[in-house]
Structure 1
Amino acid sequence: MFDFARTILENVSFDPKLFYKELQKAIQNLLPYDLEQLTEWVTGYVKEKPELEKSLELVNV
């Protein structure tokens, strides 16, 4: 499930608002282990795309 969420987030990363919305959905639907993976991935991904920085507040980083 993590891979699916990551793929969706990569595909919508052109729009920060859409990325934020899809990240909210992923957080609600993922299991705790997948959520840990997603948090790590989002943290690294946002470093490459600073326009998505607002999304870090969702993962409490």
Structure 2
Amino acid sequence: MLEYIKTILQKVSFDKALFEKELRKAVNMLVPDELKELKSWCYKQFGKMYRVVLNRCFSRVVPG
């Protein structure tokens, strides 16, 4: 599931609103270990472009 979510996020990364929508869905679907991995991957892949969105989506979920 995690790899599928990564693929989706890459495909919708051209649109900020769509990216945030899909990221929120992913955050609600994944277990804590997967969330931690997704968070790390997202900041590496999209940290420069969507840092505010990432902070908003991950702030209430996974510390670190």
| Structure 2 portions without partners, runs of 5+ | none
Cα distance in 1 between the residues matched to 2:22 and 2:52: 13
- Matched positions, count: 59
- TM-score, L = length of structure 2: 0.81
Deviation at 1:53, TM superposition (A): 2.4
Matches within 5 A, 1:1-61: 1-47=1-47, 49-50=48-49, 52-56=50-54, 57-60=56-59
| Structure 1 portions without partners, runs of 5+ | none
Deviation at 1:3, TM superposition (A): 0.5
> Aligned residues: percent identity?
37
- TM-score, L = length of structure 1: 0.85
Divergent runs of 4+, >6 A: none
Cα distance in 2 between the residues matched to 1:31 and 1:12: 22
